[in-house]
Protein backbone atom coordinates (compact mmCIF):
# COMPACT_ATOMS: atom_id res chain seq x y z
CA UNK A 1 0.00 0.00 0.00
CA UNK A 2 1.32 3.44 -0.97
CA UNK A 3 1.67 5.80 1.99
CA UNK A 4 2.48 9.45 1.31
CA UNK A 5 3.70 11.75 4.07
CA UNK A 6 3.45 15.48 3.40
CA UNK A 7 6.19 17.56 5.03
CA UNK A 8 5.14 21.01 3.74
CA UNK A 9 4.49 22.49 7.17
CA UNK A 10 8.06 21.67 8.23
CA UNK A 11 9.61 23.53 5.28
CA UNK A 12 8.83 27.22 5.89
CA UNK A 13 8.85 29.79 8.67
CA UNK A 14 5.28 29.93 9.93
CA UNK A 15 5.90 31.98 13.09
CA UNK A 16 4.35 35.17 11.67
CA UNK A 17 1.43 33.34 10.06
CA UNK A 18 -2.08 33.51 11.59
CA UNK A 19 -2.99 30.38 13.53
CA UNK A 20 -6.29 30.09 11.63
CA UNK A 21 -4.51 30.06 8.26
CA UNK A 22 -2.05 27.38 9.41
CA UNK A 23 -4.94 25.23 10.64
CA UNK A 24 -6.65 25.72 7.30
CA UNK A 25 -3.55 24.66 5.36
CA UNK A 26 -3.16 21.59 7.59
CA UNK A 27 -6.77 20.57 6.93
CA UNK A 28 -6.56 21.17 3.18
CA UNK A 29 -3.39 19.11 2.81
CA UNK A 30 -5.16 16.16 4.41
CA UNK A 31 -7.71 16.32 1.58
CA UNK A 32 -5.12 15.54 -1.12
CA UNK A 33 -5.04 11.78 -0.59
CA UNK A 34 -1.97 11.68 1.63
CA UNK A 35 -1.67 9.19 4.48
CA UNK A 36 0.10 11.45 6.98
CA UNK A 37 1.10 15.05 7.47
CA UNK A 38 4.28 15.93 9.33
CA UNK A 39 4.52 18.86 11.76
CA UNK A 40 6.97 19.91 14.45
CA UNK A 41 6.32 20.50 18.15
CA UNK A 42 5.96 24.32 18.01
CA UNK A 43 3.37 24.05 15.24
CA UNK A 44 1.49 21.36 17.14
CA UNK A 45 1.29 23.69 20.13
CA UNK A 46 -0.19 26.38 17.85
CA UNK A 47 -2.85 24.31 16.08
CA UNK A 48 -3.40 21.38 18.46
CA UNK A 49 -7.19 21.78 18.32
CA UNK A 50 -7.08 21.06 14.57
CA UNK A 51 -4.54 18.24 14.61
CA UNK A 52 -5.74 14.71 13.91
CA UNK A 53 -3.06 12.67 15.68
CA UNK A 54 -4.03 9.49 13.83
CA UNK A 55 -2.97 11.16 10.57
CA UNK A 56 -0.05 13.18 11.90
CA UNK A 57 3.65 12.45 12.26
CA UNK A 58 5.44 14.60 14.84
CA UNK A 59 9.01 15.79 14.23
CA UNK A 60 10.98 15.57 17.48
CA UNK A 61 14.57 16.23 18.54
CA UNK A 62 15.02 13.28 20.90
CA UNK A 63 13.27 9.89 21.22
CA UNK A 64 12.51 10.70 24.86
CA UNK A 65 10.04 13.38 23.71
CA UNK A 66 7.60 10.70 22.56
CA UNK A 67 6.32 10.26 26.12
CA UNK A 68 5.70 14.01 26.37
CA UNK A 69 3.63 14.06 23.18
CA UNK A 70 1.87 10.68 23.01
CA UNK A 71 -0.72 9.44 20.57
CA UNK A 72 0.66 10.43 17.17
CA UNK A 73 0.66 8.07 14.20
CA UNK A 74 4.44 8.28 14.19
CA UNK A 75 7.49 10.33 15.11
CA UNK A 76 10.50 11.45 13.07
CA UNK A 77 13.90 12.07 14.62
CA UNK A 78 17.18 12.81 12.86
CA UNK A 79 19.27 9.61 13.21
CA UNK A 80 17.14 8.44 16.15
CA UNK A 81 18.84 5.50 17.88
CA UNK A 82 19.22 1.76 17.48
CA UNK A 83 16.84 1.03 20.35
CA UNK A 84 13.81 2.82 18.97
CA UNK A 85 10.09 2.48 19.69
CA UNK A 86 8.15 0.88 16.82
CA UNK A 87 6.56 4.19 15.81
CA UNK A 88 9.80 6.23 15.62
CA UNK A 89 11.31 6.87 12.19
CA UNK A 90 15.05 7.50 12.13
CA UNK A 91 15.92 10.08 9.48
CA UNK A 92 19.23 9.46 7.71
CA UNK A 93 20.80 12.03 5.38
CA UNK A 94 22.46 10.56 2.28
CA UNK A 95 23.57 13.49 0.13
CA UNK A 96 24.44 11.52 -2.99
CA UNK A 97 25.11 8.01 -4.20
CA UNK A 98 28.76 8.14 -3.05
CA UNK A 99 27.55 8.09 0.57
CA UNK A 100 25.23 5.13 0.06
CA UNK A 101 27.65 2.56 1.48
CA UNK A 102 27.50 4.35 4.84
CA UNK A 103 23.86 3.45 5.50
CA UNK A 104 24.71 -0.16 6.37
CA UNK A 105 25.70 0.98 9.85
CA UNK A 106 22.05 1.92 10.43
CA UNK A 107 20.71 -1.47 9.36
CA UNK A 108 19.54 -2.26 12.91
CA UNK A 109 17.08 0.64 12.83
CA UNK A 110 13.59 -0.73 12.34
CA UNK A 111 12.01 2.36 10.77
CA UNK A 112 14.08 4.56 8.49
CA UNK A 113 13.62 7.60 6.29
CA UNK A 114 16.39 8.16 3.77
CA UNK A 115 16.57 11.81 2.80
CA UNK A 116 18.68 13.12 -0.09
CA UNK A 117 20.13 10.99 -2.89
CA UNK A 118 19.67 13.94 -5.26
CA UNK A 119 21.80 12.42 -8.04
CA UNK A 120 20.35 8.91 -7.99
CA UNK A 121 18.39 9.30 -11.22
CA UNK A 122 21.56 9.41 -13.33
CA UNK A 123 22.69 6.08 -11.86
CA UNK A 124 21.13 2.61 -11.77
CA UNK A 125 18.34 3.69 -9.45
CA UNK A 126 16.25 0.52 -9.84
CA UNK A 127 19.01 -1.76 -8.51
CA UNK A 128 19.91 0.85 -5.89
CA UNK A 129 16.33 0.82 -4.60
CA UNK A 130 16.50 -2.96 -4.25
CA UNK A 131 19.82 -2.82 -2.37
CA UNK A 132 18.43 -0.26 0.06
CA UNK A 133 15.36 -2.42 0.70
CA UNK A 134 17.61 -5.40 1.46
CA UNK A 135 19.51 -3.43 4.11
CA UNK A 136 16.46 -2.42 6.14
CA UNK A 137 13.93 -4.98 7.32
CA UNK A 138 11.38 -2.55 8.77
CA UNK A 139 9.46 0.43 7.44
CA UNK A 140 11.51 2.25 4.80
CA UNK A 141 10.60 5.72 3.58
CA UNK A 142 12.30 7.73 0.83
CA UNK A 143 12.45 11.53 0.80
CA UNK A 144 14.42 12.62 -2.30
CA UNK A 145 15.87 16.12 -2.40
CA UNK A 146 15.82 18.36 -5.44
CA UNK A 147 19.31 19.78 -5.95
CA UNK A 148 19.38 18.35 -9.49
CA UNK A 149 15.69 19.07 -10.18
CA UNK A 150 14.62 15.45 -10.41
CA UNK A 151 13.21 14.77 -6.92
CA UNK A 152 9.68 14.20 -8.20
CA UNK A 153 10.94 11.78 -10.85
CA UNK A 154 12.84 9.88 -8.14
CA UNK A 155 9.78 9.83 -5.88
CA UNK A 156 7.67 8.46 -8.71
CA UNK A 157 10.23 5.80 -9.62
CA UNK A 158 10.49 4.74 -5.98
CA UNK A 159 6.74 4.13 -5.77
CA UNK A 160 6.50 2.58 -9.25
CA UNK A 161 9.25 0.15 -8.19
CA UNK A 162 7.27 -1.07 -5.17
CA UNK A 163 8.50 1.46 -2.63
CA UNK A 164 5.59 1.89 -0.23
CA UNK A 165 6.49 4.99 1.79
CA UNK A 166 7.40 8.38 0.35
CA UNK A 167 7.76 11.90 1.82
CA UNK A 168 7.02 14.97 -0.31
CA UNK A 169 5.99 18.62 0.00
CA UNK A 170 3.51 20.87 -1.76
CA UNK A 171 5.07 22.54 -4.81
CA UNK A 172 8.39 20.98 -3.79
CA UNK A 173 8.68 23.36 -0.83
CA UNK A 174 12.01 23.13 0.96
CA UNK A 175 13.68 21.41 -1.99
CA UNK A 176 11.80 18.10 -2.04
CA UNK A 177 9.57 16.19 -4.47
CA UNK A 178 6.30 17.95 -5.31
CA UNK A 179 3.20 16.48 -3.66
CA UNK A 180 0.77 17.50 -6.40
CA UNK A 181 2.98 16.09 -9.16
CA UNK A 182 3.43 12.74 -7.42
CA UNK A 183 -0.30 12.45 -6.69
CA UNK A 184 -1.08 13.10 -10.36
CA UNK A 185 1.60 10.67 -11.58
CA UNK A 186 0.19 7.91 -9.38
CA UNK A 187 -3.35 8.72 -10.47
CA UNK A 188 -2.39 8.32 -14.14
CA UNK A 189 0.22 5.55 -13.97
CA UNK A 190 -1.21 3.36 -11.18
CA UNK A 191 -4.85 4.43 -10.97
CA UNK A 192 -4.12 5.43 -7.37
CA UNK A 193 -7.27 7.03 -5.90
CA UNK A 194 -8.54 7.90 -9.40
CA UNK A 195 -11.82 9.44 -8.24
CA UNK A 196 -10.38 11.86 -5.69
CA UNK A 197 -11.30 15.52 -6.17
CA UNK A 198 -7.98 17.31 -6.61
CA UNK A 199 -9.46 20.78 -7.09
CA UNK A 200 -8.31 21.37 -3.50
CA UNK A 201 -4.83 22.00 -4.93
CA UNK A 202 -6.04 25.40 -6.21
CA UNK A 203 -7.08 26.45 -2.71
CA UNK A 204 -3.86 25.12 -1.21
CA UNK A 205 -1.82 27.05 -3.76
CA UNK A 206 -3.47 30.38 -2.94
CA UNK A 207 -3.09 29.81 0.80
CA UNK A 208 0.51 28.62 0.46
CA UNK A 209 1.46 31.71 -1.54
CA UNK A 210 -0.21 33.93 1.04
CA UNK A 211 1.58 32.30 3.98
CA UNK A 212 5.03 32.04 2.43
CA UNK A 213 5.16 35.00 0.06
CA UNK A 214 6.42 32.60 -2.61
CA UNK A 215 4.92 32.95 -6.08
CA UNK A 216 4.23 29.69 -7.90
CA UNK A 217 5.13 29.96 -11.57
CA UNK A 218 2.33 29.96 -14.12
CA UNK A 219 3.85 26.97 -15.91
CA UNK A 220 4.26 24.88 -12.74
CA UNK A 221 3.05 21.35 -13.43
CA UNK A 222 -0.44 20.51 -12.13
CA UNK A 223 -1.03 23.82 -10.27
CA UNK A 224 0.33 26.59 -12.54
CA UNK A 225 -2.22 29.19 -13.63
CA UNK A 226 -1.27 28.94 -17.29
CA UNK A 227 -0.75 25.21 -17.85
CA UNK A 228 -4.00 24.96 -19.81
CA UNK A 229 -3.40 28.04 -21.93
CA UNK A 230 -3.41 27.04 -25.61
CA UNK A 231 -2.47 29.25 -28.54
CA UNK A 232 -1.31 27.29 -31.58
CA UNK A 233 -4.12 26.83 -34.10
CA UNK A 234 -3.48 23.17 -34.91
CA UNK A 235 -3.01 22.49 -31.20
CA UNK A 236 -6.39 24.02 -30.38
CA UNK A 237 -8.05 22.06 -33.16
CA UNK A 238 -6.48 18.83 -31.87
CA UNK A 239 -7.54 19.47 -28.28
CA UNK A 240 -11.11 20.12 -29.36
CA UNK A 241 -11.16 16.79 -31.19
CA UNK A 242 -9.35 14.65 -28.60
CA UNK A 243 -7.82 16.43 -25.61
CA UNK A 244 -6.16 13.26 -24.24
CA UNK A 245 -3.66 13.40 -27.12
CA UNK A 246 -2.26 16.60 -25.60
CA UNK A 247 -3.26 16.63 -21.94
CA UNK A 248 -2.71 13.74 -19.48
CA UNK A 249 -5.66 14.94 -17.40
CA UNK A 250 -8.66 17.21 -17.84
CA UNK A 251 -8.43 20.75 -16.39
CA UNK A 252 -11.50 20.14 -14.20
CA UNK A 253 -9.59 17.44 -12.28
CA UNK A 254 -7.56 20.19 -10.59
CA UNK A 255 -10.32 22.81 -10.53
CA UNK A 256 -9.16 24.64 -13.64
CA UNK A 257 -10.46 25.31 -17.14
CA UNK A 258 -8.84 25.43 -20.54
CA UNK A 259 -7.99 28.92 -21.77
CA UNK A 260 -7.67 29.64 -25.47
CA UNK A 261 -4.99 32.31 -25.85
CA UNK A 262 -5.22 34.25 -29.08
CA UNK A 263 -1.92 35.27 -30.66
CA UNK A 264 0.19 35.20 -33.79
CA UNK A 265 0.03 31.38 -34.03
CA UNK A 266 -3.73 31.16 -33.65
CA UNK A 267 -5.79 29.80 -36.52
CA UNK A 268 -9.42 29.99 -37.53
CA UNK A 269 -10.59 27.25 -35.11
CA UNK A 270 -9.10 28.99 -32.08
CA UNK A 271 -10.47 32.40 -33.02
CA UNK A 272 -13.96 31.07 -33.74
CA UNK A 273 -14.00 29.21 -30.40
CA UNK A 274 -12.94 32.34 -28.53
CA UNK A 275 -15.55 34.43 -30.32
CA UNK A 276 -18.20 31.89 -29.37
CA UNK A 277 -17.22 32.25 -25.70
CA UNK A 278 -18.14 35.93 -25.82
CA UNK A 279 -21.10 35.68 -28.17
CA UNK A 280 -19.40 37.71 -30.88
CA UNK A 281 -20.39 36.73 -34.41
CA UNK A 282 -18.17 38.23 -37.12
CA UNK A 283 -19.11 38.20 -40.76
CA UNK A 284 -17.66 35.14 -42.52
CA UNK A 285 -15.85 37.19 -45.11
CA UNK A 286 -14.09 39.13 -42.36
CA UNK A 287 -12.57 36.17 -40.46
CA UNK A 288 -9.37 36.24 -42.52
CA UNK A 289 -9.07 40.00 -42.00
CA UNK A 290 -9.57 39.49 -38.25
CA UNK A 291 -6.84 36.83 -38.19
CA UNK A 292 -4.44 39.19 -39.97
CA UNK A 293 -5.19 42.00 -37.51
CA UNK A 294 -4.72 39.66 -34.53
CA UNK A 295 -1.33 38.51 -35.80
CA UNK A 296 -0.20 42.08 -36.40
CA UNK A 297 -1.20 43.16 -32.90
CA UNK A 298 0.32 40.09 -31.25
CA UNK A 299 3.62 40.66 -33.04
CA UNK A 300 3.56 44.34 -32.08
CA UNK A 301 2.98 43.50 -28.41
CA UNK A 302 5.40 40.56 -28.41
CA UNK A 303 2.84 38.31 -26.69
CA UNK A 304 -0.60 36.81 -26.98
CA UNK A 305 -3.66 39.02 -26.58
CA UNK A 306 -5.62 39.10 -23.36
CA UNK A 307 -9.38 38.73 -23.61
CA UNK A 308 -10.18 42.44 -23.52
CA UNK A 309 -7.67 43.19 -26.29
CA UNK A 310 -9.04 40.37 -28.41
CA UNK A 311 -12.68 41.40 -28.00
CA UNK A 312 -11.83 45.03 -28.72
CA UNK A 313 -10.39 44.00 -32.11
CA UNK A 314 -13.10 41.43 -32.84
CA UNK A 315 -15.94 43.91 -32.30
CA UNK A 316 -14.62 45.96 -35.21
CA UNK A 317 -15.21 43.01 -37.53
CA UNK A 318 -18.63 41.92 -36.22
Q: How many CA atoms lie within 13 A of 289 on its CB side?
A: 11
Looking at residue 186, the DSSP 8-state letter turns out to be H
Q: pLDDT at residue 269 above 80? A: no
Q: Which CATH superfamily is domain 3-212 in?
A: Aldolase class I (3.20.20.70)
What does the alpha-carbon distance between residue 302 and residue 193 come to, in Å, rounded to a whole number? 42
At a CB cut-off of 8 Å and minimum separation 6, what does 46 contact?
Answer: 14, 19, 22
Q: Dump pLDDT digits (tens) for 64-95.
A: 899 999 999 999 998 755 567 788 999 999 99
107 or 182, which is more confident?
182
pLDDT at 34: 96
Q: Dump pLDDT digits (tens) for 1-49.
A: 899 999 999 999 988 899 999 999 999 999 999 999 999 999 999 999 9
What does the alpha-carbon distance between residue 196 and residue 96 come to, in Å, rounded to a whole number? 35
Q: pLDDT at residue 207 above 70? A: yes
- pTM for the full predicted model: 0.86
Q: Assign 167 to helix, strand or coil.
A: strand
- Count of H-run helices and E-run strands, the chain: 10, 10
Domain-wise residue ranges, the chain? 3-212, 229-316
Q: What is the mean pLDDT of residues 135-139?
A: 87
What is the gyration radius of the CA atoms in the chain, in angstroms? 24
At a CB cut-off of 8 Å and minimum separation 6, what does 21 contact?
Answer: 207, 210, 211
What does the alpha-carbon distance between residue 191 and residue 70 come to, in Å, rounded to a whole number? 35
Q: Dump pLDDT digits (tens) for 224-254.
A: 998 988 876 677 778 878 888 888 999 999 9
pLDDT at 232: 64
Q: What is the mean pLDDT of residues 169-198?
A: 94
pLDDT at 243: 85
Q: Assign 264 to helix, strand or coil.
A: coil
Amino acid sequence: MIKITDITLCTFNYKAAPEQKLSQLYSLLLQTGISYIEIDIPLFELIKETVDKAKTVLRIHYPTQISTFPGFAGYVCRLGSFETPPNLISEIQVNDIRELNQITKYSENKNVRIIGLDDLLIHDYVNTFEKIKEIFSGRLEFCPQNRYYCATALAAEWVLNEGENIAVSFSGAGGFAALEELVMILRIAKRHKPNMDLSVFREIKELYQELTGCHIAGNKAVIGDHIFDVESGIHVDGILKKSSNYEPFEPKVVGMSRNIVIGKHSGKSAVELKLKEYGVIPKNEKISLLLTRIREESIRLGRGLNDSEFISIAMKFS
